[in-house]
Amino acid sequence: MLEIILSIIIVLSAILALIQKDLLKAAILTGFSAAALAALFQVLLAPDVALTQAIVGAAIVPVFIALAVKKTQRSDG
Amino acid sequence: MNELIPLMVIVPLIAALLISTISRFNTVTKVFTFVVALCLPLIPILSNYGLHYFGGYEPMLDTVSGVIYHPAITYSFTFLQQIFIGAVGLLTFLVVFIYLTKYKKVSGPYLFLLFLGTAAVTAMMLTDDIFHMFVFFEILALAQVGIVAASSIDYSYEMALKYMVLGSIGSPIMLLGIGFLLALTGSVNVTDIAVAVHNGLVDVTSPVFLLSLALIFFGWLYASGLPPFHTIKSGIYSKAEPHGAALLQSFTVISMISIVMIMFRIYASLPIFEVLIVFFSILAMILGVSLALTQTDFRRMIGFLAVGELGFIGLGIGLGTNFSITAGLFQALNEIIITALLFIGFGAIVNATNEVDTRKLGGLLAYHPKVAIMLLIAGLAMAGVPPLSGFQSKLMLVQASLSCGFPEISILAIMVSIATFVVFVKTYYTMFLKPKPNDLNLEGKEVPKAMIFAMAVLLIIVVLLGIFPDMATGGISNFVGGIL
Amino acid sequence: MIMVQIVILMTSAALIVIGLYSAIFIDNIIKKIIGISFIEEGVNLFIVTLGYKAGGVVPILMPGMDPAWFAANAAAPLPFGLVLTSIVIGASTLAVMLALVMVLYRRYHTLSTKVMLADTSKREEYDE
């Protein structure tokens, strides 16, 4: 059951991230998707991968994207 | 001295990191870089042939099934690896030498990228582990993007970003293919996978196996710049600094042959594999030469010709006999050297004239006779004129396709060679022989001595390989015999 | 318990398809890069699923475990090791792409790929 909920969160937040007009929100939703993915890795018996994914995917990557958005422009289009 | 095998990768990697740390001290960096670059071609020459197991984990015999497993990442070093790593090492040395003499103040990050790329292709060539190859494939893509972005040519950042976006679509797709192979065989070691496929542990007609071929093949097309990636590949050659482009094309050739040899060992039993390779190779030959004919920027012209020459390598490997694969690999060695010579030579012209449009150039023969003569010989070698090295490998390819029963392919190969000759002579005529345009100022501009030196060294290799092709083909043929 | 694997394989397929769609069809370069990171995540998820064993244990040998029981029940650790490397590679590739985008934004003042990337070849044609 847990994996179904996590899967739905991952796919939903991925789609939501790509249809946002505000790129900062897109960055945060990317982090959401990656954090749910990290939890899913834990369910799949891979705690080391889950730890790396939680740090890299849910913290570092959204920060990189947010920094890039800050240096460029916030709205899409 | 088997301990030298991992050092071939470790030395350029450590040197790359150290150089970017100490780049504030200009003289120290220059001396250190020169010494390391000099070591690169020497290490493969001094090393013995053999295998190296990382961590010392020897292969294990499974007593139940009687199959040997390789738990460690394995580097295998034979004559083929020696000759290609030696060629790339020599080329890196020459390129670094040109760079060090050209600029008073050297840039640490740029040298870092050059050495990183060399380390990556060396590892790709040595490794017997498909995931290890993928990791260095990604590192190589980053290094290539960096070398392109570091150049001062217009629109180099755009080209670098375009290449990077395509690459980061292509490499997860390749990783997915590796994942399918892992699912089928439970191993990432190429020898283990090949044994599993040949022993019938894997159903070779299953859709998963075919899909893994398609996905890895896509990554190979991206790495080697065969169609549909020929435009972007020739684009990055033309946007990099000329000495960087000379190194970039050698990276392309080596990543192409190292991936295709791995694919060949796994998928050789599938007939569609060889058909696919021959199809894309012929497409690359025709597209490369015909697009080269329409270019007015001579760097772009050489880029498309280089893509066309890649088709010859693929053709030899796709035909699948011992003789044809030997011919293809020998053509790869020749292409590394000849194309590097052309890029450095035309780079010398850019250096002396600040002009890349062939229509605005002319009469350079009187001003730069040494460069003109060496470029002419290199161009003739690329087109396959005896007794130069390109002739020997192309003759072998034509003979191989005839003996496989494909006279059409050999006729096509000869026609593409003639077209290459036409493209080269047309460009050569407009640049060197045509009367000089009035608005072209050539007084007081010299070609750097380091470039002349590098061209002379490469030219000696071209002539030597042309007169004594047995130096390379004998050993390559033995290696191919071991794979088949 | 085969259910878990099917759900997760479908998730990874969905991530790859979403990522490919956005990398090919979305015009905004930052969203393209986000899409590329989704492709990478989908592939990572697929490879982790290969190591999963329904009802198994985490592949860490704790003191007091019977090695034979552990070998029969632990998940396969090799795919996990591969994915660790792959995650870090994906993050570094993304950082380089974003850096290039930041440099290019200074020249074009837009994030549209139609302006930023496809323009160079056309401009060369105009020059001729």
Domains of chain A by residue range: 2-71
Give chain C positions within 8 Å (CB) of A61: 37, 91, 94
Q: What's the whole-model pTM score?
A: 0.93
Q: Does A10 contact C11 at a Cβ distance shorter than 8 Å?
A: yes
C87 within 8 A of C22, measured Cβ to Cβ = no
- The nearest alpha carbon in chain C to B232 belongs to C121
Cα gap B413→C43, rounded to integer Å: 39
C residues 13-72 closer than 8 Å to A (CB): 14-15, 18-19, 22, 26, 28, 30-31, 33-35, 37-38, 41, 44-45, 48-49, 51-53, 56-60
Closest residue in B to C47 (Cα–Cα): B179
Contacts of B377 (CB under 8 A, 6+ apart): B388, B459, B462, B463
Q: Does the structure's ipTM exceed the value 0.90?
A: yes
**B168, C36: Cβ pair inside 8 Å?**
yes
| Touch B-C: 3+ C-beta pairs under 8 A | yes
B chain contacts of residue C29, beta-carbon cutoff 8 Å: 161
What single DSSP character describes residue C74?
Answer: B
Query: What pLDDT was estimated at residue A77?
Result: 63
Question: Which ranges of B429-467 would DSSP assign to H, the alpha helix?
Answer: 449-467
What is the average pLDDT score of chain A?
91
User: Is C68 a domain residue?
Assistant: no
Which 3 state secondary structure label does DSSP give B92? helix
CA distance readout (Å), C17 to A4, A33, B104, B323: 19, 15, 50, 43
pLDDT at C122 over 70: no
Q: Which of B142, B157, B188 minimises the CB distance to C104?
A: B157
Count the Cβ atoms, other than its own, within 10 Å of residue B266: 24
- Chain C residues whose CB is inside 8 A of the A4 CB are 7
Report the CATH number at residue C10. 1.10.287.3510
Contact C97 B158 (CB under 8 A): no
Closest residue on chain C to A61 (Cα): C91
C83 lies in some domain: yes
Query: Domain for residue C63, yes or no?
Result: no
Contact C93, B164 (CB under 8 A): yes
Based on the number of CB atoms within 10 Å of its own CB, is B436 exposed (0-12), middle (13-18) or buried (19 or more)? middle
- Three-point CA angle B375, B378, B383, nearest 5°: 125
Contact criterion met (CB < 8 Å) for A57 and C41: yes
Q: In B312-409, which ranges are E strands? A: none
SS3 B294: coil
Please indicate if any CB of chain A lies within 8 Å of the CB of C111.
yes
Give me the residues paired with residue C57 across strands.
Answer: C74
Alpha-carbon gap: C63 to the closest alpha carbon of chain B (Å): 24
Residue C1 has pLDDT above 80, yes or no: no
pLDDT along chain B (484 residues), means of 10: 85 92 88 92 91 87 81 90 94 93 87 94 93 93 93 87 91 93 90 89 89 94 90 89 91 94 91 92 92 86 90 91 93 93 89 80 84 91 87 92 91 92 90 82 77 93 91 89 83
Residues of B in contact with C100 (CB under 8 A): 145, 149, 157, 160-161, 164
Q: What are phi and psi of B129, to 5 degrees?
A: -130, 120
Residues of C with CB below 8 A from A43's CB? Answer: 4
C-beta separation of B456 from B348 below 8 A: no
CA dihedral sign of residues B10, B12, B17, B22: positive
Judged on CB neighbours under 10 Å (0-12, 13-18, 19+), B67 is middle
User: Domain range holding C82?
Assistant: 2-54+75-127
Residue C34 within a domain: yes
Judged against a pLDDT cut of 70, whether residue A30 lies above it is answered with yes
Residues of chain C found within 8 Å of residue B182, distances taken between Cβ atoms: 47, 50, 78-79, 82
Q: Distance of CA B329 to CAs B257, B316, B479, C107, Å?
A: 8, 8, 11, 43
CA B50-B56-B61 angle, 5° bins: 85
The answer to whether the Cβ–Cβ distance between C85 and B131 falls below 8 Å is: yes
In this complex, the residue of C20, C32, C50 whose CB is nearest that of residue B183 is C50
C28 touches chain B (CB under 8 A): no
Optimal mutation site among C5, C97, C98, C104, interface B, most CBs of chain B within 10 A? C97
Distance CA B54, CA B71 (A): 9
Mutate to test the interface with A, among C3, C22, C41 (most CBs of A within 10 A): C41
Q: Is residue C61 in some structural domain?
A: no
- Total domain count for chain C? 1
Indicate whether C67 belongs to any domain. no
What are the tens digits of pLDDT across the range C24-70?
999 899 999 999 999 999 999 999 998 888 878 888 888 888 888 88
Q: For chain B, say whether C57 makes contact (Cβ under 8 Å).
A: no
Contact B165 C50 (CB under 8 A): no
Mean pLDDT score, C7-34: 92
Closest residue of C to A38, CA-based?
C45
Cα-only R_g, chain A? 13
Angstrom CA distances, B221 to B214, B225, B233, stand at: 10, 6, 11
How many Cβ pairs within 8 Å bridge chains A and C? 124
Cβ of C32 within 8 Å of Cβ of B186? The answer is: no
Closest C-alpha among B120, B81, B96, B30 to residue B246 = B96
| Contact (CB<8Å) B168/C123 | no
Measured N-to-C along each axis, helices C29-51 and A23-43 cross at an angle, to the nearest 10 degrees, of: 0
- Residue of chain A minimizing CA distance to C32: A18
The residues spanned by each domain of chain B are 1-168+228-258, 270-484
Contact A37 C35 (CB under 8 A): no
| Rg from Cα positions in chain B | 22
The answer to whether B185 touches B240, Cβ cutoff 8 Å, is no
- Please tell me the distance from the alpha carbon of residue B339 to that of residue B348, in angstroms, as a whole number: 14
Closest Cβ–Cβ partner in B161, B162, B172 for C43: B172
Residue C109 lies in a domain: yes
Predicted local confidence at residue B295, as pLDDT: 84
For residue C86, tell me if it sits in a domain.
Answer: yes
